């Protein structure tokens, strides 16, 4: 009998062991190691010859212009992507929320293309098609990825396209779980369409919106693929984001790259904290 | 009278439109057209990609652009695939993606069950670590992980693309939500029927949470099949590189001119996902409706 | 096919003392048809609901009672026909402007708003000025006993409290018509009985037109001024409770209202059915001399305290008999008798034959013949 009780007490730990091992080994430990690395000038050829330099890497970070420009690029990118994706996803989801087969097809079409075919957009030939459309409409064409002004915008647009499918799906599911009788009661209370949206729909899906907001912010701060493939960080570092910045130093200055990674983590943690502080009150859980 | 009219798409006007004026009907038609336009905007580039992949070089350079190739150039695909060791790349992508999914399932299911149904010391702490892992991206951990794996001599294998991902924090989180909604009574009656815990997991929990599992597997598939950053920083030789890196290199080797080749490569990358996605996408909405992300 | 019967309301009208400033309106449905896609659920229905009265729409699931009420509210517009409130055709008028308030079965209170905000939502939309809004909310919350909960969120309230919120939200708008869709079905038994009485008193006080939907005939009988009994989209009978009980229009009505339902049996002539209520039969150990007397055996006995229900099996039928005394036990042989004035006859079409009908005498004899001691 005792053996059985022992097994029952140990069993939960056995069940979570592989998962926790994976997390500790490949997430927690690396984070701690990263922090340690940030205090060193790492020697790739001979690890033992790495020099402890304290906070030097960090002072470098905060005094270098290229760090700040990477930071600003990342912030601009994040704000652009989060705002546009959230608003567009919300609008499209509301538009498509009525349960009809047509809506389901549109929904499926959008999500397939944007979730699964992520790569396609990144490879689209210099917006040749887009330029043709612009020309035929009499509008000026653009060099899109060649000009630093439009390069960032192009990357933002591509990322928004990639995100909309996924997030509309989440919002549509949330919208469809609102009992219709609440809208009927509001109709009897003589509420107009906008009033229903602001006072009923939005609060009821606020948990999902909050979730999306956090996920998108974190996701935007770690953008890399799109940048590397479409612009290679250019032109003139106009699209170099923080992770791309880290990537550039990953073999030459490991300590410096690690320190930047630490700063990136701190920023993400800070943002999450701010979100919770500011918005948690407005989110209506049930 | 209005109710009889149905647009070719098979969509019928909603009840409130049927009863009201002609103006409302016109507005509804506009809405349908706009939705069709939205689909077009999303789907058109996909069709464009396929079309370009079958054109000749001259056709791709033509202005105004060629919509449909005169003769489909299937040779483009051959050329794309021979620009590098693409068979190896494809094999790597398949092995990595499926290994990751399989391992994740094996690791994630018992963990989610334990978090959902058991009480044990340290449960909150461990789950907090899971949530933390959810929020810490690979872009932060890649340097130390690379150094670690290099020290163990694993860089020349597919392992660096597989083992760091066996713990799918998102999956554990979602699955735990789902498990928590399965009524305790079902599990208790199974225990009364003398079923072991692992049998309960296998025969009850897993079948009942198929939508969630399908969703998690699908997301995992898409994210690992499309993964570019991690293999980029973890691989040193062609023998272990996945398809994504091969396609990206196509862009560099072919320059910015041979779009027909590049698009062909893209199609090869993209079509498997399409197939898998079409197969499992219905489960996604179901999973989110049931578990409710809160 | 049983035809619906109309009967003028007779008997006690009940109090209709009007509280100050309250409006009330009559409702009329004219040739109303409702179909969902190809399914016709209600066809050419006509109904007049008197103003100020408590009208109950009752019937089994799927009979169309909720559909009817939603048409009055404007939530599911009719496919054809017209709905008039106070003589005015409201077909084109949106639900929020018909002067109608509704209490939903699941209450449908706005989960993200406080109780106060829930109640004043409709007032705000109708541009009621702030001071008056505050006054109205305070007074209504006093009436329903929600004063201490005004700033709470619905998720922190019990079922009964949530129902009061739904009620308050409806009442505060001072509607001309009150609609209630099975509002008591989600409450536990004790609370249900209490709320029944409160609703009756509320109606007495307000005097507004109440339209109440339920599948529970006990609720219908106890609360209604007029009962509208429906089945499969058709009105079976429309009359006050006493009339429905004592003079059911057809077999369906006779067997729907009353617990246990009316006992029926085939007469064997002209396809006629006879019937009598469980409490009108007399059981005794010796043979009696009632118009319809038969011998039988007690199959089951349910002693409920104030009354006992026996299942009695005769050679041809099984009847449920309700007695105030508990004199018999299972498997005992008894003699059952029914006096002539308590017998009903229903024609082959299901409609009840009126007392003055010529054929009654003949059927009475046929029944007498079947009696045996």
pLDDT at residue C368, rounded to an integer: 83
C77 touches chain B (CB under 8 A): yes
Tally of domains within chain C: 2
pLDDT digits (tens, 9 = 90+) for C107-141: 999 998 999 999 999 999 999 999 999 999 999 99
For residues C167 and C296, membership in a common domain is answered with: no
Q: How many domains does chain A have?
A: 1
Is the pLDDT assigned to residue C19 strictly greater than 50?
no
Same domain, B63 and B163: no
Which residues lie below 8 Å from residue A242, measured CB to CB, with a gap of 6+?
A70, A71, A73, A74, A221, A260, A264
Query: Model ipTM?
Result: 0.83
Asked if the model's pLDDT at residue A256 lies above 80, the reply is yes
What proportion of chain C, given as a percentage, has pLDDT over 90?
A: 67
Closest partner residue to A190 (CB to CB) among C75, C109, C122 is C122
Nearest CA in chain B to C93: B20
Domain boundary among C202, C229, C251: C251
Task: Give SS3 for C201.
Answer: helix
Provide the number of structural domains found in chain B.
2
Q: Are residues B90 and B133 in the same domain?
A: yes
- Among candidate residues B40, B61, B78, the one where a domain is terminated: B78
- Is residue B76 within 8 Å of B261, Cβ to Cβ? yes
Claim to verify: residue C226 and residue C78 sit in the same structural domain: yes
pLDDT at B10: 44
Strand partners, C100: C177
Chain C interface mutation, best of A188, A204, A281, highest count of C Cβ atoms under 10 Å:
A188
Per-residue pLDDT reduced to its tens digit, B78-87: 888 887 888 8
C353: domain CATH number is 2.40.50.140
Residue C295 domain boundaries: 263-370
Is residue C263 classed as helix, strand or coil in its secondary structure?
A: strand
pLDDT at B1: 35
Instruction: Answer whether the bond into residue A235 is a cis peptide, omega within 30°.
Output: yes
What is d(CA C371, CA C37) in angstroms, rounded to the nearest whole number? 53
Smallest CA–CA distance, residue B68 to chain A, in Å, is: 14
**Cα end-to-end distance, chain B, whole Å:** 45
More confident: A235 or B176: B176
Decide if B289 and A243 are in contact by the 8 Å CB cutoff.
no
Residues C205-222: tens digit of each pLDDT:
888 999 999 999 999 999
Backbone angles phi, psi at C219, to 5 degrees: -60, -45
Give A256→chain B minimum CA distance, Å.
Answer: 11
Query: What is the C-alpha end-to-end distance of chain C, expressed in Å?
Result: 36
In chain B, what residues touch A124 (CB-CB under 8 Å)? 45, 48-49
A121 near B CB under 8 A: yes
Selecting from C73, C113, C126 the residue whose C-beta is nearest the C-beta of A190 gives C126
Pick among A4, A11, A23 to test the B interface (most B CBs inside 10 A):
A23
- Asked whether the predicted pLDDT for residue C14 surpasses 80, the reply is no
| Interface check C71 vs A, CB under 8 A | no
In the predicted model, is pLDDT for residue B43 greater than 80?
A: no
Say whether pLDDT at C68 is over 80.
yes
Minimal Cβ distance to C104: which of A181, A204, A284: A181
Quick: pLDDT tens for C278-296: 999 999 998 888 888 999 9
A1: in domain? no
> Which three-class secondary structure state does DSSP give residue C351?
strand
User: CA nearest A227 in B: which residue?
Assistant: B229
CATH of the domain at A102: 1.10.3720.10
Q: Which of A118-122, C46-50, C193-197 has the lowest mean pLDDT?
A: A118-122
CA distance B226 to C186: 51
Measured distance CA(C353)–CA(B218) in Å, rounded:
69
Q: What is the pLDDT of residues B149-166, one digit of tens each?
A: 999 988 889 999 999 999
Best CA proximity match to B224, nearest among B92, B115, B29, B45: B92
> Who wins on pLDDT, A133 or C100?
C100
- What are the CA-CA distances from residue B234 to residues A36, B89, B223, B245 (Å)? 21, 15, 16, 12
Q: How close does chain C come to B12, measured CA to CA in Å?
A: 11
- pLDDT at site C233: 92
Helix (H, G, I), strand (E, B) or coil at C68: helix
Residues C314, C337, C319: CA angle, nearest 5 degrees: 40
| B180/B214 same-domain check | yes
Domain residues for A194?
Answer: 64-282
Question: C75 and A187 in contact by Cβ < 8 A?
Answer: yes
Interface partners of chain C (CB pairs < 8 Å, 3 or more) are: A, B
Q: Does C156 touch chain A (CB under 8 A)?
A: no
Q: What is the 3-state secondary structure (H, E, C) of chain B?
A: CHHHCCCCCCCCCCHHHHHCCHHHHHHHHHHHHHHHHHHHHHHHHHHHHHHHHCCCHHHHHCCCCCCCCCCCCCHHHHHHHHCCCHHHHHHHHHHHHHHHHHHHHHHHHHHHHHHHHCCCCCHHHHHHHHHHHHHCCHHHHHHHHHHHHHHCCCCCCCHHHCHHHCCCHHHHHHHHHHHHCCCHHHHHHHHHCCCCHHHHHHHHHHHHCHHHHHHHHHHHHHHHHCCCHHHHHHCCCHHHCCHHHHHHHHHHHCCCCCHHHHHHHHHHHHHHHHHHHHHHHHHHHHHHHHHCCC
Q: Is residue B247 part of a domain?
A: no
DSSP-derived secondary structure for A161-187? HHHHHHHHHHHHHHHHTS-HHHHHHHH
Last residue of a domain, one of C200, C217, C251: C251
Please tell me which of the candidates B120, B145, B244 has its beta carbon nearest to residue A12.
B120
pLDDT of residue C20: 46
A51-69 residue pLDDT tens? 788 888 888 888 888 899 9
User: Where in chain A does DSSP place strands (E)?
Assistant: 40-41, 51-52
- Same domain membership, residue B174 and residue B124: yes
Which residue out of B19, B20, B21 would a mutagenesis test of the C interface target, given it has the greatest number of C Cβ atoms within 10 Å?
B19
B65 and B205, same domain (yes or no)? no
For testing contact with chain C, the best of A174, A185, A200 (most C CBs within 10 A): A185
- Model confidence band, residue B287 (pLDDT cutoffs 50, 70, 90): low
Residue of A nearest to B282 (CA): A108
Q: What percent of chain B shows pLDDT beyond 70?
A: 85
Residue B72's pLDDT band (boundaries 50, 70, 90)? confident
Domain boundary among C198, C222, C251: C251
Q: What is the pTM of this model?
A: 0.79
Whether residues B93 and B29 share a domain: the answer is no
Distance (Å) from the C-alpha of residue A214 to the closest C-alpha of chain C?
22
Q: What is the pLDDT of residue C351?
A: 92
Average pLDDT of chain C, as a whole number: 88
Q: Is the sign of the CA dihedral A145, A149, A152, A153 positive or negative?
A: negative
Q: What is the mean pLDDT of residues A264-276?
A: 90
Q: Are C116 and C133 in contact (CB under 8 A)?
A: no
Q: Is the pLDDT confidence value at C6 over 60? A: no
Domain that holds residue B43: 2-78
């Amino acid at each position: 009998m005792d053996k059985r009780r022992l097994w029952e007490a140990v069993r939960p730990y056995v069940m979570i062991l592989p998962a926790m091992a994976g997390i500790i080994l490949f997430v927690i430990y690396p984070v701690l190691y990263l922090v340690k690395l940030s205090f060193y000038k790492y020697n790739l050829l001979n690890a033992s010859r790495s020099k402890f330099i304290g906070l030097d890497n960090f002072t470098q970070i905060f005094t270098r212009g290229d760090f700040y420009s990477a930071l600003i690029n990342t912030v601009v990118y994040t704000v652009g992507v989060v705002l546009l994706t959230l608003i567009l996803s919300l609008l499209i989801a509301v538009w498509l929320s009525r349960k009809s087969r047509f809506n389901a097809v549109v929904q499926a079409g959008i999500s397939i293309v944007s979730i699964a075919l992520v790569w396609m957009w990144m490879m689209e030939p210099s917006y040749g098609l887009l330029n043709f459309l612009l020309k035929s409409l009499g509008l000026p064409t653009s060099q899109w990825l060649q000009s630093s002004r439009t390069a960032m915008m192009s990357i933002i647009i591509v990322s928004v396209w990639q995100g909309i499918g996924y997030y509309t799906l989440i919002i549509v599911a949330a919208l469809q779980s609102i009992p219709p009788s609440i809208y009927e009661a509001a109709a009897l209370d003589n509420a107009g369409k906008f009033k229903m949206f602001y006072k009923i729909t939005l609060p009821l899906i606020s948990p999902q919106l909050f979730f999306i907001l956090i996920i998108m912010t974190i996701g935007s701060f770690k953008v890399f693929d799109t940048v590397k493939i479409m612009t290679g960080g250019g032109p003139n570092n106009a699209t170099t984001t923080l992770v791309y910045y880290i990537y550039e130093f990953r073999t030459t200055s490991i300590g410096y790259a690690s320190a930047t990674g630490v700063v990136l983590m701190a920023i993400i943690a800070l943002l999450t904290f701010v979100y919770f502080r500011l918005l948690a009150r407005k989110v209506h859980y049930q | 009278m209005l109710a009889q009219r149905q647009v070719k798409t098979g969509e019928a006007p909603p009840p409130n439109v049927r009863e009201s004026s002609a103006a409302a009907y016109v507005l509804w038609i506009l809405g349908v057209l706009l939705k069709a336009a939205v689909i077009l905007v999303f789907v058109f580039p996909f069709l464009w990609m396929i079309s370009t992949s079958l054109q000749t070089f001259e056709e791709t350079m033509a202005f105004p652009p060629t919509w449909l190739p005169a003769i489909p150039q299937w040779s483009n695909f051959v050329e794309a695939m021979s620009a590098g060791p693409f068979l190896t790349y494809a094999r790597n992508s398949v092995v990595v993606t499926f290994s990751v999914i399989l391992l994740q399932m094996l690791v994630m299911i018992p963990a989610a069950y334990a978090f959902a149904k058991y009480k044990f010391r340290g449960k909150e702490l461990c789950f907090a670590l899971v949530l933390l892992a959810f929020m810490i991206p690979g872009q932060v951990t890649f340097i130390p992980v690379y150094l670690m794996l290099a020290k163990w001599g694993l860089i020349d294998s597919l392992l660096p693309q597989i083992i760091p991902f066996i713990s799918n924090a998102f999956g554990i989180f979602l699955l735990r939500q789902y498990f928590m909604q399965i009524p305790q009574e079902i599990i208790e009656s199974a225990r009364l029927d003398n079923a072991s815990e692992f049998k309960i997991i296998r025969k009850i929990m897993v079948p009942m949470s198929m939508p969630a599992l399908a969703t998690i597997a699908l997301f995992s598939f898409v994210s690992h099949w499309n993964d570019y950053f991690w293999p980029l920083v973890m691989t040193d030789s062609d023998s272990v590189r996945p398809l994504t890196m091969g396609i990206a290199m196509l862009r560099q080797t072919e320059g910015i001119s041979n779009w027909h080749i590049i698009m062909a490569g893209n199609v090869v990358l993209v079509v498997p996902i399409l197939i898998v996605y079409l197969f499992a996408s219905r489960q996604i909405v179901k999973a989110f409706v049931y578990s409710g992300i809160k | 096919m049983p035809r619906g019967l109309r009967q003028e309301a007779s008997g006690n009208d009940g109090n209709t003392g009007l509280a100050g400033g309250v409006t009330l309106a009559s409702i009329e449905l004219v040739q109303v048809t409702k179909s969902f896609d190809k399914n016709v659920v209600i066809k050419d229905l006509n109904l007049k609901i008197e103003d100020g009265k408590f009208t109950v729409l009752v019937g089994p699931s799927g009979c169309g009672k909720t559909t009817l009420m939603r048409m009055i509210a404007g939530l599911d517009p009719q496919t054809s026909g017209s709905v008039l409130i106070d003589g005015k055709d409201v077909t084109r008028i949106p639900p929020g402007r018909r002067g109608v308030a509704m209490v939903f079965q699941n209450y449908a209170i706005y989960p993200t708003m406080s109780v106060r905000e829930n109640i004043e939502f409709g007032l705000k939309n109708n541009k009621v000025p702030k001071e008056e809004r505050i006054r109205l909310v305070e007074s209504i919350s006093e009436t329903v006993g929600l004063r201490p909960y005004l700033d709470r969120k619905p998720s922190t309230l019990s079922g009964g409290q949530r129902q009061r919120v739904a009620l308050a939200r409806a009442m505060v708008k001072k509607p001309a018509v009150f609609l209630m869709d099975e509002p008591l079905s989600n409450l536990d038994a004790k609370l249900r009985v209490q709320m029944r009485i409160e609703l009756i008193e509320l109606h007495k006080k307000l005097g507004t037109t109440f339209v109440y939907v339920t599948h529970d005939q006990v609720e219908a009988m106890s609360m209604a001024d007029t009962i509208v009994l429906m089945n499969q989209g058709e009105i079976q009978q429309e009359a006050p409770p006493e009339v429905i009980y004592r003079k059911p229009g057809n077999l369906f009505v006779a067997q729907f209202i009353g617990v246990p339902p009316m006992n029926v049996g085939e007469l064997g002539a002209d396809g006629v059915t006879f019937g009598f209520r469980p409490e009108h039969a007399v059981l005794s150990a010796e043979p009696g001399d009632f118009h319809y007397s038969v011998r039988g055996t007690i199959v089951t006995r349910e002693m409920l305290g104030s009354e006992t229900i026996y299942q009695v099996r005769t050679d041809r039928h099984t009847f449920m008999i309700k007695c105030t005394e508990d004199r018999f036990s299972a498997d005992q042989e008894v003699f059952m008798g029914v006096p002539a004035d308590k017998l009903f006859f229903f024609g082959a079409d299901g409609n009840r034959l009126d007392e003055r009908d010529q054929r009654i005498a003949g059927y009475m004899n046929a029944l007498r013949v079947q009696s045996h001691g």
